[in-house]
A and B are shown apart, each in its own frame.
Chain A
Amino acid sequence: EIVMTQSPATLSVSPGERVTLSCRASQSVSTNLAWYQQKPGQAPRLLIYDVSTRATAIPARFSGSGSETEFSLTISSLQSEDFAVYYCQQHNNWPLTFGGGTKVEIK
């Protein structure tokens, strides 16, 4: 089983700031890495898949990069609606696995 580790657990940032979230895989997942956003009381929403492909209707301020075992999600200018928990997930191997999440909170 591939273990996904996200860091940091919590990020305190101000609106307008640039934010980078990290995700590490215990072994290579090639480019089969997705990111999700979850707001309180809502189901997660797919933001990015295949490392860097934005899902439908996802704003361009969200971008993903990386390969093999090291990945990042960048939000270029944090908006108020972006305060949420973000999860990475590998879709390279069964079993599918998620990272523990990074909470982006208002500073």
Chain B
Amino acid sequence: QVQLQESGPGLVKASEILSLTCGVSNYFINNGYYWGWIRQPPGKGLEWIGSISHGGSTYYNPSLQSRVTLSVDTSKNQIFLKMSSVTAADTAMYYCARDRTFDMWGQGTMVTVAS
């Protein structure tokens, strides 16, 4: 069973950089698929942040593109999200998920941006 696990600081200061890691188990990222990040502010809907292929091709949400960078380390089987200049509006549950139809999800990690 493929498993995804997000990790990172639960609290980030406003204007700083948010860095999250998604570890993948029981599947080698090199074998294919896009790997995405999705977030959900408290009480709100889902927002796609961006996706990256095993080869490093990236697609981003235009509304976040200027602040987001995705990367992948196939040797560690991990995907990374960096978001700069965070504000309170970036407070959300952050999920990583597999493929363009998100067939596997991590449990999510809650990130709070403190002013």
Residues of A within 8 A of B (CB): 1, 34, 36, 38, 43-46, 49-50, 55-56, 87, 89, 91, 94-101
Contacts and interface: CB of A to CB of B under 8 A. Distances in A.
B70 to A, nearest CB: 13
18 contacts: A1-B62, A38-B46, A43-B95, A43-B105, A43-B107, A44-B46, A44-B95, A44-B105, A45-B105, A46-B102, A49-B101, A49-B103, A55-B103, A94-B59, A95-B60, A98-B46, A98-B47, A100-B45
Contacts of A55: 103
A56 B103 CA distance: 9
B98 to A, nearest CB: 10
A87 B46 CA distance: 8
Name the interface size band of chain B: 10 to 19
A97 B106 CA distance: 19
Contacts, number: 53
Identify whether the interface residues of B are mostly helix, strand, loop, or mixed: loop
Contacts of A46: 101-103
Given A44-B95, A96-B59, A101-B46, 12 more contacts: A43-B105, A43-B107, A44-B102, A44-B105, A46-B102, A49-B101, A49-B103, A91-B100, A91-B101, A94-B59, A96-B51, A96-B100
A91 B107 CA distance: 22
Contacts of A50: 101
Contacts of A44: 46, 95, 102, 105
Contacts of A99: 45
Contacts of B48: 89, 95-98
Interface in B90-115: 95, 100-103, 105-108
Interface string B60-79: 11100000000000000000
B45 A98 contact: yes
Contacts of B47: 98
A94 to B, nearest CB: 4
